[in-house]
Structure 1
Amino acid sequence: MNPEPIPPRAVGPTSTLAGGSAPARRSLIRAALTGTAVLGAGLALGTPSASAVTPTGSRRSRPTTAQGALRELAAGNLRWRTYCERHPDESPAVRQELTSGQHPFAVVLGCIDSRVPPELVFDQGLGDLMTVRSAGEVLDEAVLGSIAYGVLELGIPLVMVLGHQSCGAVKAAVQVDESGEELPAHMQYLVDQISPAIDHSKEGDARIDATIDANVERVRSRLAAEPELAAKVDAGDLAIVGARYELTSQLVHRIA
């Protein structure tokens, strides 16, 4: 994975996910979702400051920029694929510290595949990553809301859409597209969401492999087009990137 610098862009507004007109109610919702101890009904959570992103007493500093987050993920993936994992942020001290709040440095939208757990492939620990997983990285309102919460309320500077080699959801979408059959129950929804990314210029396994990359880029582009996330990108406060995990080598690399 190449953690090259991401150029800053123009400023834009931010917003909140918590609805309702009462500030106290919004504060309670935010505190509950963040995991922050509520000291009073009037407590409000804004964009975390630099000191909040790296809490006092933390066993290691967490990145506060997209470039720093990419470097940390690249370093963790190197440890993973060379069998030098550190399993960070699992100590009793860190567990106790996290009872008062969370300050993850990246959102990873990944597939549900049991072979690609983000905390393991990036060698990260408790409180480091906010992970959202759906088959084929498919977006729906719950996924979008979860990502938006991490960015808009927790001030997370990086969103990574993480696809992977031999994705079963993408394979199913390609097979349904070729056969015209439908999958049972709610699985058809998944293939319908993936099918626009199918690369019809290739055949066989090459089509599936190319569609994995195209699907990651399509999801990344959809996230980048969300107005409130786009405003963060324009302000230089957020990067949204696509990446892929290779099962054969355990390498995560960026998708251009």
Structure 2
Amino acid sequence: MTEQPPTPQKVWDEMLRGNARFVSGSPRHPRQDVERRHELANVQHPRATIFGCSDSRLAAEIIFDKGLGDLFVVRNAGQVVGESIVASLEYATTVLDVPLIVVLAHDSCGAVRAAIDSAAIDSAPLPPHIWKLIAPIVPAARKVLAATGGSVPADIDPELVGREHLRNTVAEIMESSELISDAVAEGRLGIVGANYRLAEGTAVPIVGVGVDIRASA
């Protein structure tokens, strides 16, 4: 009898339980031994895809208490959607049959800070490659600034910008990939946008597509 693939909800609940162990200081460090390494030498079946910021404090396997082969991880500064990112997410979804994408942001994000600072009229120009990377975050900064009635970048709450960018990122992934949006529509894939709190160690869900983020683990 063929084993049924896990549902997006089941995998997200597993991720929450792993994060809870990490937060409480009782991680299991599963599937990190020699046997697991040998088992994965010729095949992989990751449970979730992580699209996260490149920040050194955002090590997904540690945060969610996972092991070798459990997570398919794609990262860049500020978790900004681009062609290579979408292609990698599509590969995980269609070739590896991964049922869940977690877009993982975090507080005190340098890319978000750069986007906020660049919203000032008199801001110094950034190196071109850095500007190209963080430019998609700038609309979130400007929207938060307008919504809060501020007039200068100092008035902007970085956490609100990060959350707005997170929502925009999830929406852009859906809009950029018919393969991914179809998988969500068919119930084969869910997407969760979560914000990682550096001091607490908690991954807080902000937006869910095809997954009930209100459900407890």
Under TM normalisation by the shorter chain, which class is it?
0.7 to 0.9
- Structure 2 residue 143 is matched with structure 1 residue 186: no
Q: How many residues align?
A: 197
Partner residue, 1:220: 170
Structure 1: which 4+ aligned runs deviate by more than 2 Å? Answer: 201-207
Counterpart residue number, 1:147: 89
More off after superposition, 223-232 vs 124-133? 223-232
CA RMSD of aligned residues (A): 1.5
The corresponding residue for 1:74 is: 16
Instruction: Report SS of the residue matched to 1:196.
Output: helix
TM-score, normalised by the number of residues in structure 1: 0.73
Distance in 2 between residues matched to 1:205 and 1:123, nearest whole Å: 37
Among 180, 190, 196, the residue aligned to 1:239: 190
Q: Return the offset for 1:181.
A: 2.8
**1:66-92 residue CA offsets vs partner (Å, 9 max, x unmatched):** 111111110110111111111111111
C-alpha distance in structure 2 between counterparts of 1:205 and 1:164, whole Å: 20
Of the two, which has the highest radius of gyration? 1
Q: Give the deviation of 1:205 after TM superposition.
A: 6.7
Find out whether 1:97 has 2:44 as its counterpart.
no
* Conserved? CA contact 2:47–2:71, under 8 Å: yes
Note if 1:115 corresponds to 2:57.
yes
Deviation at 1:207, TM superposition (A): 2.4
What's the TM-score, normalizing by structure 2?
0.86
Alpha-carbon contact 2:8-2:189 (below 8 Å) kept: yes
Q: Which residue of 2 aligns with 1:132?
A: 74
CA positional deviation for 1:182:
1.8
Q: Which structure features the higher share of strand residues?
A: 2
Measured in 2, the distance between the counterparts of 1:129 and 1:76 equals 12
- The equivalent residue for 2:158 is 208
Q: After superposition, what is the alpha-carbon deviation per residue over 1:36-66, rounded to whole angstroms, capped at 9, x for unaligned? A: xxxxxxxxxxxxx637x6xxxxxxxxxx211
> CA separation in 2, counterparts of 1:91 and 1:216?
34
Query: How do residues 40-59 of structure 1 correspond to structure 2 at under 5 angstroms?
Result: 50=3
Give the distance between the partners of 2:75 and 2:174, measured in 1 at CA. 18
SS of the aligned residue for 1:116 comes to coil
Deviation at 1:206, TM superposition (A): 4.8
Change in 2 beyond 3 A, CA 1:155/1:114: same
CA-to-partner distance for each residue in 1:192-231, whole Å, 9 max, x for gaps? 1211221113453752110100111101011122211111
Q: From the superposition, tell whether residues 74 and 205 of structure 1 become closer, same or farther in structure 2 (CA, over 3 Å).
A: farther
Residue number in structure 1 paired with 2:213:
none
Which residue does 1:59 correspond to in 2? none
Q: State the identity as a percent.
A: 35
